[in-house]
Structures are given as structure tokens and as C-alpha cells.
């Protein structure tokens, strides 16, 4: 029984370290995005008013060492179009946006005032500031939201 408890504690600590590492990478990418654009990315982005939207996570790809995939993304197509799915096929499960081993769901959601929050439970939130701007990320392990989807 003691071994099982220790194993669970080690697993929790390992997940926390993994989470901390990914949050550090996201924080650096967000700061670099801000430095280049003068603001943090919008949680939902449209290149032009009539264009379909994409997620803030797609906008961070060039800052997460994935310029090639980002250059193939077509902002005039929906996030889940065949073209964009193919463009991002190799990073469909993006390791920067999830603590899960498989699938394309994100674990990290951006908090804004545009959406009803999907969880009834307290989550770990990280606030990133640069100048007078703020970007808040919450870690939501039970998320079912695809990382490319323009939501949260």
C-alpha cells in the first residue's frame, strides 16, 4: 500500500514538473509574441473580418520552434479544414499545448471574457504580464477542446 501511495506521489510530482516546463515554454512564446506584435495574441483570431477564426495557440507556433507548420497554415480556411489539418498533421498532437500523451486536445486554455468557463472546479492559472498587458492561461487537464480550435 505504501508503495502505491509513493508511486502516485511521484507521478503527481512528475506531472507538475512537466506542466511547469510547458508553462515556461508558453510564457516565453507569449512574451516573444508580445515583443514582436506589441500585444498578446487574441484568444480567437481572424486575419480579416470575413475570415474563419483560429486559436491563439496557432499564432504561437512560430515562437515554439514550429515556423514551418505555421507557414503552411491557411488563415482564409476554417481551423478544421482539410488544408489546415494537413498543414499541421505532423503536429496534430502538439506537445506544447497538452499534458496528454495522445490526441489533439489542449490542456492549456486562455481565460477571457468572451466564453463561459468549462470547468466547475478550481484550476491552476498562470498570469503573464508584459507592460500593461495581461494574458491568463489555465491548466485544464479534463479539456476536450482540440488545440487548433478557436476557443479558450
User: pTM for this structure?
Assistant: 0.74
Among all chains, which residue has been given the C-alpha cell 486575419?
47
Distance CA 27, CA 65 (A): 14
Distance CA 29, CA 40 (A): 10
The closest alpha carbon to 101, from 109, 93, 91, belongs to 93
Residue pLDDT, tens place only, 24-76:
888 899 999 999 999 999 888 887 777 778 888 889 888 887 677 788 888 88
CB burial class (10 A; 0-12, 13-18, 19+) of residue 32?
A: middle
Is residue 128 within 8 A of residue 138, CB to CB? The reply is: no
Residue pLDDT, tens place only, 5-29:
443 433 444 455 456 777 888 889 9
Amino acid at each position: 500500500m505504501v508503495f502505491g501511495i509513493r508511486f502516485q506521489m511521484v507521478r503527481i510530482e512528475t506531472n507538475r514538473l512537466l506542466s511547469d516546463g510547458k508553462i515556461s515554454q508558453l510564457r516565453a512564446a507569449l512574451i516573444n509574441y508580445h515583443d514582436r506584435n506589441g500585444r498578446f495574441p487574441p484568444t480567437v483570431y481572424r486575419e480579416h473580418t470575413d475570415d474563419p477564426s483560429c486559436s491563439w495557440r496557432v499564432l504561437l507556433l512560430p515562437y515554439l520552434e514550429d515556423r514551418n507548420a505555421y507557414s503552411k497554415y491557411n488563415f482564409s480556411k476554417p481551423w478544421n479544414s482539410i488544408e489546415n489539418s494537413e498543414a499541421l498533421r505532423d503536429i496534430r498532437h502538439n506537445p506544447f499545448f497538452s499534458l496528454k500523451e495522445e490526441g489533439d486536445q489542449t490542456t492549456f486554455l486562455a481565460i477571457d471574457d468572451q466564453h463561459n468557463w468549462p470547468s466547475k472546479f478550481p484550476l491552476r492559472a498562470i498570469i503573464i504580464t508584459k507592460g500593461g498587458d495581461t494574458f491568463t492561461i489555465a491548466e485544464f487537464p479534463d479539456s476536450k477542446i482540440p488545440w487548433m480550435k478557436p476557443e479558450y
